[in-house]
Amino acid sequence: MIYEKIISRRTIRKYKPKPVPRETLIRCVDAARLSPSGANLQPLKYIIVDDEHLLKEVFSTTKWAGYLPDYGPSEEEMPRAYIAILLDKTIRQTPGHDAGIAAMSISMVAYDEGLGSCILGAIDRARLRKILKVPEHL
């Protein structure tokens, strides 16, 4: 059953204007939190963004499908939630594979809950840090 889920999941870049239940976002983070990490150090922290005002600000820091600049969502099609994955540098200096494992866990739980997702790496990190008020060690 998990095999079918993995091979049928697709990256989604345009979203319906429907809020994501907070409980679903917490389930996604819980799955990521319980995912494997190198030496079981669990150096990752998570920020859920589902506030309408913050969503627009976070959206402005993202780039979608870098080689296809016109392929990303419009503001009307932007995600209705984000889960930021952060590395606690007091625990580990580099994320290794931990962030990828966590991102895949989040993505698969979202899919299982009937939601589309896209793992983003092209982000204006400096602006995002300010918007989310991320502490320096993360």
Residue 14 domain-assigned (yes or no): yes
Determine, yes or no, domain membership for 110: yes
> pLDDT grade, residue 55 (50/70/90)?
very high
| CATH assignment at residue 17 | 3.40.109.10
Residue 137 located in a structural domain: no
Length of the chain counted residue by residue: 138
pLDDT in tens, 7-49: 999 999 999 999 999 999 999 999 999 999 999 999 999 999 9
Q: Based on the structure, what is the number of domains in the chain? A: 1
70-121 pLDDT per residue, tens: 778 999 999 999 999 999 999 998 887 999 999 999 999 999 999 999 999 8
121 inside domain? yes
The answer to whether residue 10 sits within a structural domain is yes
Q: Residue 118 is part of which domain span?
A: 2-132
> How much is the pLDDT for 44?
97
Residue 64 has pLDDT above 90, yes or no: no
The first and second tokens of residue 57, run together, are 């600000």
Would you say residue 56 lies in a domain?
yes
pLDDT of residue 133: 97
Query: Token pair for residue 60?
Result: 């402005």
pLDDT, position 99: 96
pLDDT of res. 66: 67
Long-range Cβ contact pairs of 17-24 (< 8 A, separation 24 or more): 17/76, 17/80, 18/80, 19/50, 19/80, 19/81, 20/50, 20/80, 20/81, 20/115, 22/48, 22/50, 24/110, 24/113, 24/115
